[in-house]
């Protein structure tokens, strides 16, 4: 029998945190519930243990030399933008002697 979503209450910095009742099954991570603050911001997520194991396996495949990129959101966005532009043919040649 599948687990039913739980209604959780916690106090964080004096604010009551409650979960949503919507279950998300699309996207890269299968989220059972989000924990939201009193202003409606998602502050945490509840996932199944099988999903956690799957994510662990995915994360093992990220080379240690590239971990910094995933920890630096600005650099990650720049790389994503550059890859998108390159796929659209928006490239130019760079003369290394001019640097």
Residue 36 lies in a domain: yes
| Residue 26 pLDDT class (50, 70, 90 cuts) | low
Q: Domain range spanning residue 7? A: 1-47
Of the two residues 63 and 27, the one the predictor is more confident about is 63
Q: What is the mean pLDDT of the chain?
A: 74
Residue 86 lies in a domain: no
Residue 61 lies in a domain: no
> Rounded distance, CA 49 to CA 56, Å?
10
Residue 5 lies in a domain: yes
> What single DSSP character describes residue 70?
H
Residue 17 lies in a domain: yes
> What single DSSP character describes residue 62?
S
DSSP 18-50: EE-SPPP--SSS--SEEEE-TTS-EEEEE--HH
- The shares of helix, strand and coil residues in the chain, as percent rounded to the nearest 5, are 40, 20, 45
Of the two residues 15 and 89, the one the predictor is more confident about is 89
Residue 80 lies in a domain: no
When divided into structural domains, the chain yields a total of 1
Q: Is the pLDDT of residue 74 over 90?
A: yes
Are 38 and 50 spatial neighbours (Cβ–Cβ below 8 Å)? Answer: no
| Residue 48 pLDDT class (50, 70, 90 cuts) | confident
Residue 82 lies in a domain: no
């Amino acid at each position: 029998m599948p687990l039913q979503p739980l209604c959780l209450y916690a106090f964080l910095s004096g604010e009551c945190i409650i979960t949503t009742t919507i279950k998300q099954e699309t996207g890269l991570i299968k989220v059972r519930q989000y924990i939201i603050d009193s202003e409606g911001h998602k502050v945490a997520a509840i996932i199944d243990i099988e999903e956690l194991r799957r994510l662990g396996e995915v994360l093992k495949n990220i080379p240690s030399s590239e971990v910094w990129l995933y920890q630096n959101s600005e650099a990650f966005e720049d790389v994503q933008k550059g890859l998108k532009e390159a796929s659209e043919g928006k490239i130019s040649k760079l003369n290394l002697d001019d640097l």
